[in-house]
Amino acid sequence: MESSIRFELIKEDKYTKARLGKLHTPHGVIETPIFMPVGTKATVKTMTPEELKEIGSQIILSNTYHLYLRPGHDLIKEAGGLHKFMHWDGPILTDSGGFQVFSLGDLRKITEEGVKFQSHIDGSRHFISPEKSIEIQNALGSDIAMAFDECAPYPASHDYVKNSLERTTRWAKRCIDAHQNPNQALFGIVQGGMYKDLREQSAKELVALDFPGYAIGGLSVGEPAEMMYDMLDFTVPFLPREKPRYNMGVGTPDYLIESVMRGIDMADCVLPTRIARNGTFLTSAGRIAIKNAKHERDFTPVDPECDCYCCKNYSKAYLRHLFREKEILGARLASIHNLHFLLKLMENIREAIRNDDLLAFRETFYKKYGYEL
């Protein structure tokens, strides 16, 4: 099947493996590298689609596992697909449900056929196979679907990870065979845990299947940062230069910068919106916990360098008041700010790549942010 997306490689950085690109999808063009806000249950928590656009969101991610359970992919298909259901007309990437299902622990059982599991909501019994995952994602109608994989835990034995990645490759083939939606691109997911030989094996097997894009899965699962960087350094070169690369579940500024430097084009994470709802703000000078008493009478914005709606119009004192009173507007403003912060960071990264200036940008950013190089 001809792919419904096209990746245009605009420029490669002189000094790092960072790349500037454009990903053409049925719902619009994404400038890469990009961060994807997460809208787990067909809503990026607290935000409207218009607000997401306003802060520069180009693509969002939604979760197959959650939408399958509630409200059901058949209902969303009946509504005209996920875009129409949630009133977002930009590109959407759906995960495969694999990661969520495997995270259920004792509630799931893996066989060659697929995964049996019990709903975390009501204990009801379900079965997701590669074919089922693709059926659900086809029904949701996302622009990019992900192959159903197993994200091996960390740590895990070489044997366990080898078996797991080989099954992931077999499942990847089944996903390709099952895939029916001509307006949806299917990405493969490289696994292999923290073993380089297995990362190489997984990458080669999946590249042979010729997916239009590749994710690197099984990173940012509790391993030390240096180990993740090492795995990226090692794995990315096995992936085709002309296809987009996606590091799953990465959303701190340092992880984003380090991923991009290693050749990553896309990333996603619930972190910015999750910590927002707890009153933590990402700023150019590091994180701020707004509920801290020291902000009580601070009438300055959270980040004086930020031009988001929150920073232009509200003070730390007001935000602290909203969070102390558990007012929804607080969670909204923090979500706007944190997502804007990461999206602006990606914009600055793209600009730095354009100017072959990424290393200097990184140094300046880290110094201000308080991150040790």
Cα(69)–Cα(77) distance, rounded to whole angstroms?
Answer: 14
Alpha-carbon distance of 137 to 135, in angstroms, equals 6
Binding to its own copies in span 67-96, by CB under 8 A = 70-71, 75, 78-80, 85-87
Candidates 172-180, 207-215, 317-325, 346-354 — which segment interacts with its own copies by CB under 8 A? 317-325
Residue with Cβ nearer its own copies (27 or 196): 27
> From the list 332, 340, 344, 350, which residue makes contact with its own copies (rule: CB under 8 A)?
332
Under the binding rule (CB under 8 A), the answer on residue 325 touching its own copies is yes
Which member of 110, 156, 270, 317 binds its own copies (CB under 8 A)? Answer: 317
Minimum distance from residue 133 beta carbon to its own copies (Å): 21
Residue among 13, 95, 143, 149 flagged as catalytic? 95
Q: Does 46 bind its own copies (CB under 8 A)?
A: yes
Footprint (CB under 8 A) of its own copies, residues 126-155: none
329 lies in the binding site for its own copies (CB under 8 A): yes
Tell me whether residue 254 is one of the annotated catalytic residues.
no
Three-state SS for the chain is: CCCCCEEEEEEECCCCCCEEEEEEECCEEEEECEEECECCCCCCCCCCHHHHHHCCCCCEEECHHHHHHCCCHHHHHHCCCHHHHHCCCCCEEECCCHHHHHCCHHHEEECCCCEEEECCCCCCEEEECHHHHHHHHHHHCCCEEECCCCCCCCCCCHHHHHHHHHHHHHHHHHHHHHCCCCCCEEEEEECCCCCHHHHHHHHHHHHHCCCCCEEECCCCCCCCHHHHHHHHHHHHHHCCCCCCEEECCCCCHHHHHHHHHCCCCEEECCHHHHHHHCCEEEECCEEEECCCHHHCCCCCCCCCCCCCHHHHHCCHHHHHHHHHCCCHHHHHHHHHHHHHHHHHHHHHHHHHHHCCCHHHHHHHHHHHHCCCC
Site membership for its own copies, residue 176 (CB under 8 A) = no
Give CA–CA dist 137/159, Å, rounded.
Answer: 31
Nearer to its own copies, 170 or 297 (CB): 297
The reply on whether position 328 binds its own copies by CB under 8 A is yes
Q: Does 307 bind its own copies (CB under 8 A)?
A: no
Among 23, 42, 250, 267, which residue sits at the site for its own copies (rule: CB under 8 A)? 42
Q: Does 299 bind its own copies (CB under 8 A)?
A: yes
210 among known catalytic residues: no
State the nearest-atom distance from the C-beta of 68 to its own copies, in Å: 13
Binding segment toward its own copies, per CB under 8 A, in 42-50, 137-145, 234-242, 284-292: 42-50
CB of 40 to its own copies, least distance (A): 9
User: Of the listed 143, 149, 268, 303, which one is catalytic?
Assistant: 268
| Distance in Å, CB of 330 to its own copies, minimum | 8
Residues serving a catalytic function are: 95, 268
Residue ranges in contact with its own copies by CB under 8 A:
41-43, 45-48, 70-71, 75, 78-80, 85-87, 296-297, 299, 309, 313-315, 317-318, 320-322, 324-325, 327-329, 331-332
